[in-house]
Structure 1
Amino acid sequence: MARKKGREISGWLIVDKPAGVTSTAVVGKVRWALDAKKAGHAGTLDPAATGVLAVALGEATKTVSYLTEALKCYRFQVRLGTATTTDDAEGEVIETSAIRPDDAAIRAALGAFVGEIEQVPPQFSAVKVEGARAYDLAREGEAMDLAARPLYVESLEMIARIDADTVELEMVCGKGGYVRSIARDLGRALGSLGHVLWLRRLWSGPFDAEAGISLEEIDRLARSPELDAHLRPLEMGLFDLPEVRATAEGAVRLRHGNPGMVIGAGEYGEEAWASYEGKPVAVGRLMGAELHPSRVFNL
């Protein structure tokens, strides 16, 4: 089997994704521009959505699951009184309502969407139904009874009332959240209808959209040291885990996938990451003075 071409480059590139492009296409662009051997992203954004898309390169792909679990913040506008096939502005209108709740009613309704909630994904989503993607079945006109999924919502606030038909909201939530479902369900909870007009992910874990690089800038700096300078260190994907320091002998053992001696505070059985001479070595479980590795970084 032919080996993948590209550089052995590791780290994170934080992209401010524009509307009209898929997350997969962004990853492909980043991988080409950095001539990277391996790349992946931490949390899909719908093609119409904008904002922070964290792209992992090389060994950083081993930390993607930790960023996927992190809280994320979304700013979005909801158009009241109209339901669409896709629960956003790209779909066809399927129902309308003349009811327009006032600000007090909207604020009162938001509380039901905070905490541990159950959410039914949109018909046009990547959820699998008997091996097929829901959006493929929806395009064929098939209506699906999708199962509700748990979602943790830390906060959901009304930012502005743009006009009688439009409200701007901001939500902080865990993984697996569909903003389009929030708009749909909020509209119905208010006795009206609703769909998303636009959506922007402001931050994801430690990464902020304002610090992201645009696709235009990626194109301009492609295959240059200037683009390499935008890379963030691999360990940023481990921001939510405690760091311990490996001893010289411990680092050797950890790099071979064996338990290694570490120095630092941590509870027995806690997940942590070990560094040696300023570089990440492994992620694993603390067992006394040893880290038992689950992932090893080849840097």
Structure 2
Amino acid sequence: MSKPRKPKGRPVSGWLILDKPIDFGSTEAVSKIKWLFKAQKCGHAGTLDPLASGMLPIALGDATKTVPYVMDGRKIYEFKVTWGEERATDDLEGEVTRSSNQRPTEEQIRNLLPKYTGVISQVPPQFSAIKIAGERAYDLARDGETVEIPSREVEIFRLTLLACPDENTAHFEVECGKGTYVRALARDFGRELGCYGHISGLRRTFVAPFGEDSMVPLASLVALETLEDMDERLAALDALLIDTSEALSSLPHLAVNDDQAHRLRMGNPILVRGRDAPVAESEAYATARGKLIAIGEIGQGEFRPKRVFV
């Protein structure tokens, strides 16, 4: 009987909050980070288009188990809309499909924003990762197919007009929930205003719970490649990681002792006692000595682990 293959790379864990540059894909960024850190596992929490810059949270090692909690978090984008043209991709990459000489006033734009605040119905772009009959919409679109993508509800918590530097462009900031397509906002703004429009600049500045001050530019990571001593290089990279538990800050927290931590790591429940102990929670996380031990459920006086961390 053959032995199971040993995973390649280091068992390093944590979150790297990458400031992704323009013209660099999310998958390409993950591959680069995995190679730099010599990590066994790596994944991102929320794709950024190549033409978009900004926050791309990347999970290494055991942190990949917490990716869904970051994917569900609120996000903030700054974006620029250019009026007068609608494009196939709803951004600068696509060919022009509609055009207009009409331009909106600042007042017209401001009056439009309340309609796009709150829970709204949105049709994702033709060039999106939505699956249609098992295939990605962008693959169908690249093959020249026009598919009908059903609308879905998304939540816009805040939508602000930042500036109108000239009649052709407007700058916005949006705070939104999971699944919102900013490119679709630009498309729908243009149609509603009768002038058409597309995204000509997009930057993500926040993915809950990570703030803008957590971002690390790709250039800073690449610069560490000049360190000839591999141990020194890896230590400098590891110092940039955020603890895995930070991704769970929206969940109730339980601090446990070493004996309880051992039981949880073995997949066993522990008793939850104390006046301030949570009574019932569908999800909570436990730490020991500041390190993440498990994500689990609290009920009937017990914390029952669902996911355990080494």
Alignment of 1:193-204 (within 5 A): 193-204=196-207
Query: Greater CA deviation, 195-204 or 2-11?
Result: 2-11
1:82 matched residue in structure 2: 85
Q: How far apart, CA to CA, are the structure 1 residues paired with 2:242 and 2:154?
A: 29
Confirm or deny that 1:258 pairs with 2:261: no
1:295 matched residue in structure 2: 307
Change (3 A) 1:104 1:146: same
CA contact (8 A) 1:16 1:210 kept: no
Specify the SS of the correspondent of 1:294: strand
Change (3 A) 1:117 1:267: farther
Confirm or deny that 1:173 pairs with 2:172: no
Quote the offset at 1:252 in angstroms. 1.8
Specify the SS of the correspondent of 1:162: strand
Specify the SS of the correspondent of 2:10: coil
Percentage identity across paired residues of the two chains: 45
1:285 matched residue in structure 2: 297
Q: Can you list the C-alpha shifts for 1:117-164, whole angstroms capped at 9, x where unaligned?
A: 111111111111222211111112111111112211101110111210
Q: How far apart, CA to CA, are the structure 2 residues paired with 1:36 and 1:103?
A: 49
Q: How far apart, CA to CA, are the structure 1 residues paired with 2:139 and 2:252?
A: 42
Confirm or deny that 1:228 pairs with 2:231: no
- Match 1:206 to one of 209, 215, 220: 209
CA contact (8 A) 1:273 1:283 kept: yes
Change (3 A) 1:26 1:290: same
Q: How far apart, CA to CA, are the structure 2 residues paired with 1:265 and 1:72?
A: 31
Amino acid at match of 2:9: G
Confirm or deny that 1:35 pairs with 2:38: yes
Change (3 A) 1:112 1:213: same
Alignment of 1:60-75 (within 5 A): 60-75=63-78
1:44 matched residue in structure 2: 47
Confirm or deny that 1:183 pairs with 2:189: no
TM-score (norm 2): 0.92
1:126 matched residue in structure 2: 129
2:284 matched residue in structure 1: 272
Note the residue ranges of structure 2 that are not aligned, 5 or more in a row. Answer: none
Q: How far apart, CA to CA, are the structure 2 residues paired with 1:267 and 1:172?
A: 33
Quote the offset at 1:267 in angstroms. 4.0
Amino acid at match of 2:67: V
Amino acid at match of 1:278: G
Q: How many residues align?
A: 298
Alignment of 1:143-182 (within 5 A): 143-182=146-185
Specify the SS of the correspondent of 2:190: helix
Q: How far apart, CA to CA, are the structure 2 residues paired with 1:297 and 1:205?
A: 22
1:136 matched residue in structure 2: 139
Amino acid at match of 1:23: S
Change (3 A) 1:158 1:61: same
Q: How far apart, CA to CA, are the structure 2 residues paired with 1:197 and 1:153?
A: 20
CA contact (8 A) 1:247 1:261 kept: no
Q: How far apart, CA to CA, are the structure 2 residues paired with 1:73 and 1:54?
A: 13
Q: Can you list the C-alpha shifts for 1:257-289, whole angstroms capped at 9, x where unaligned?
A: 221134553241342111112211111111143
Alignment of 1:12-31 (within 5 A): 12-31=15-34
Quote the offset at 1:3 in angstroms. 3.4
Specify the SS of the correspondent of 2:78: strand
CA contact (8 A) 1:70 1:174 kept: yes
Runs of 4+ in 1 over 4 A off after TM superposition: none
TM-score (norm 1): 0.95
Quote the offset at 1:209 in angstroms. 3.6
CA contact (8 A) 2:122 2:154 kept: yes
- Match 1:239 to one of 232, 244, 249: 249
Note the residue ranges of structure 1 that are not aligned, 5 or more in a row. Answer: none
Change (3 A) 1:161 1:267: farther
- What is the RMSD of the two structures over their aligned residues, measured on CA atoms? 1.5
Amino acid at match of 1:74: Y
CA contact (8 A) 2:279 2:301 kept: no
